Amino acid sequence: MLKQRETAGAREDSAETRELTYAQAIREALQLAMNRDERVFMLGEDIGVYGGAFGVSDGLIDQFGAERIRDTPISEAAIAGAAIGSAMTGMRPIAEIQFMDFITLSMEQLVLQGAKIRFMFGGKATVPLVLRTPAGSGTGAAAQHSESLEAWFVHVPGLKVVMPSTPYDAKGLLLAAIEDDNPVIFVEHKLLYRTKGHVPEGYYTVPLSQSDIKREGTDLSVIATSIMVPRAIEAAEILAKKGIELEVVDPRTLKPYDATIATQSVRKTGKALVVHEAPKTGGFGAEVVAELVAGDAFDYLDAPVRRLAGLDVPIPYNRELERAAVPQVEDIVREARALVEGVY
């Protein structure tokens, strides 16, 4: 029987912080989790010697061996099933689905099995599983390798959905997801893999279901997910030169979503813009807006709550069309300015 090693509490911040990329931060979390708990292992396509399609698991096979960094055939249903079945019987798998688009081939196992097993069995089974997957456009990979499907999973009771936007969060949220006893869909963004940020050494967790204020401001709350967080911050820097101060709120965990921080922010600023990459219709942004207007923020609103999201279009190949399909910094600047200046 594999046992979890004795370790100190959840948070062991080191005094120093280093710069790591988002990919390195994820890799470090994987290393820490596997060092800490022998039940943790990874499975997925080309994660071994190849190092993963985006290099996230680069070198891990040398450290942990082919048993724990387990290359699979191109069998997404079996990857999900193998992860869920092993999670039900004492392991803590981390599955990688190479592109989020391919998760469509795992849907039955994830949605009809993994998400429901605990409830269907009267709470008598546990499925501690993390499924990591890179999402998003911007790589020229066109319609079948660029999707952002997080809203599908938000709609499934029993699943949790996490979308980190910074290296610090990626590491801490991944460690929290691995500790969690539920199936967690962990959505990474391809364009974020090379972004850098401060990441403390050692083990720490960022609690799930806790939003974070990524930039303080007074004029408008921008509630953004994943890649849209750095884009919103960039937009904020541009607008700051014009005297407009955006507050950027990152939900980080989309399910279960806690609207407290977004609500507090909007009570302060009186205005809200919700930004995500996935297509607008039926997107997570609608949920964020609904929580604001149905809740304690309503009486504080001075303007309509707006959504800025991907167009309802498959991601096109052409560079300019691809850019036009999802919100860019200039789009956020334009929308934010219109809301703040009351020109809508």
Partner 1 sequence: METKLKESGLDSATLLEALRKMHLIRLFEEKAESLYALGKIHGTMHLSIGQEASAVGSCLALQPDDYILSTHRGHGHCIGKGAEPKLMMAEFFGKEVGYCRGRGGSMHIADVAGGNLGANGIVAGGIPLSTGVGLSIQMQQQDKVCLTFFGDGAANEGAFHESLNLAAIWDLPVVYICENNQYGMSMSVERACAVQRIAQRAAAYDIPGMTVDGNDLFAVYGAVKAAVDRARTGDGPMLIESVTYRWRGHSKSDRQRYRSRDEVKEWMEKDPIARLEKALLSAEIVSEADLEQVANAARKTIEDSVAFAEAAADPDPASILEGVYA
Amino acid type, 108: E
CB of 325 to partner 1, least distance (A): 31
Q: Active-site residue 76, yes or no?
A: yes
- Residue 282 CA to residue 302 CA, distance in Å, equals 25
Catalytic residue (choose from 145, 189, 247, 322): 145
How many whole angstroms separate alpha carbon 105 and alpha carbon 127?
A: 20
Provide the Cα torsion 159, 164, 169, 172; round to 10°.
30
Judged by CB under 8 A, does residue 139 bind partner 1? no
Q: How many residues bind partner 1 (CB under 8 A)?
A: 45
Measured from the CB atom, the residue of 118 and 337 that comes closer to partner 1 is 118
Can residue 47 be called a binding residue for partner 1 (CB under 8 A)? no
Q: Is 86 in the site for partner 1 (CB under 8 A)?
A: yes
- Judged by CB under 8 A, the stretch of 89-97, 245-253, 270-278, 321-329 that binds partner 1 is 89-97
Does 182 interact with partner 1 (rule: CB under 8 A)? yes
Query: Are residues 126 and 114 in contact, defined by beta-carbon separation less than 8 angstroms?
Result: no
For the CB of residue 77, give the shortest distance to partner 1 in the complex, in Å.
Answer: 5
Stretch that binds partner 1, among 10-18, 178-186, 321-329, 336-344 (CB under 8 A): 178-186
253 touching partner 1, by CB under 8 A: no
- Residue 168 Cβ vs partner 1, minimum distance, rounded to whole Å: 25
User: Could you confirm whether 155 is annotated as catalytic?
Assistant: no
Cβ-based nearer residue to partner 1, 38 or 331: 38
Query: Can you tell me which residue has the tokens 């921080």?
Result: 261
Task: Give the Cα separation of 64 and 71 in Å (integer).
Answer: 13
Dist. CA 250–CA 54, nearest whole Å: 24
Please give the residues from 51 up to 80 whose contact with partner 1 meets the rule CB under 8 A: 67, 72-73, 75-78, 80
Establish if 126 lies at the interface with partner 1 (CB under 8 A): yes
Query: Measured between alpha carbons, how far is residue 70 from residues 19, 64, 79, 127 in Å?
Result: 29, 10, 10, 19
Binding site for partner 1 (CB under 8 A): 1-2, 41, 67, 72-73, 75-78, 80-91, 93, 108-109, 112-113, 117-126, 128, 157-158, 160, 180-182, 256
